[in-house]
Structure 1
């Protein structure tokens, strides 16, 4: 998702230093950006550092490694982490940036690769209001809805909540369509009927047809959604709250990964109900 987000920032007139230099980055960004040899190199050249990485360990390596962001952070630099990671890890990184004289926001996103390409992401931001205002010219390029939800870490909590709702709804749509097809009723007709009623949702609209057609090219990969629900289960343990349905869907995503579906779209959770493999 970082590549199309970078392309949108370039198109909006921002000057970018990008780490890493890869064929995919070159194909999309060409010579419109400068390619850094390390995260530290990119940080030295920038007033604002934006991270978009898969998981908590990836962010920690890029931030805390020998050639990481913290090794080169200048006072006054703003770090915006748009990854989806542990809220506790986010707060700890924010403290380190603050001690180095920098500013920090966590700003995870929802909307997938389509939203990244079209600049229509929903962005959930945690941090000081003044810092959020400072980041608005960047965030408004990347998303169509930017919501300040609280202090650093609150953005990650909001993203976890988002992923619970999406994951549980995907499973509900999968179960509903499994029943429809087992009853030998036209799933296309039922999908159309459901879209006109109280059961209508964005998940049903987008993922229902994928499940009916058996087309599961990602979008958003099961392995990444499993990671996000893992963060939900971890947070629930820390906070002593019960998340029984989210935990069940997390286990179904474990089953999907075990079945070889890790890099299929998260709507391929439907295949687990069929006992299917890729």
Structure 2
């Protein structure tokens, strides 16, 4: 991991116990990167590096990486996946999008459906939304009592610690966009017939609770950024900054994990392909 990687991570990571004020974090910040086109080219190169590291992780077969993408509607979760993991071999990556829980899922504890789709050893798992919906939308829309929500922060921390202790490295990214940027992106979906399918009228209702959601995110970041599973706040108004920041952190994390190809018990020189 380079000094530049360390500086980037330090700038974006939420320290354990830190009280976050999102209004003090500029969602359009580009100060961590240089020229836009050079940064985009570098992100494409990082995607190839991530593929090579994932190949080693898959071959090693003993550990996993879980990438959690959390953000308001239009914050760019799908776009991040396409940009950062577009070069990664499909056998070694799983993507799971969390929507409203099904009747079966509601019959279990709220973490049951999450544990079921955590990445197996040797793979990278990506969550598009996650178990944090249960302290975000559940809190804002009052789908659970205040007492229940309060219990969930420590339950989530304990759940993630269990995953880490069993070989899963966790990266959590909060995609931080402004209300104005969200407005532009929602309007773009309405203006483009090819994007109508992406528009959800419920998104407009959620905008009415913008301040409540920001407060819920701040509490989540404060309560659930731990030494074993830290949160990173990613400036997401500029897509190229968002993609570059996450790609750099994912690559640096895989390099720190340093997966190794397993040694073989036979001598390749003893064989000949005819």
Please give the TM-score of this superposition, normalised by the length of structure 1.
0.29
Which structure's relative contact order is higher, taking Cα pairs within 8 Å and 6+ residues apart? 2
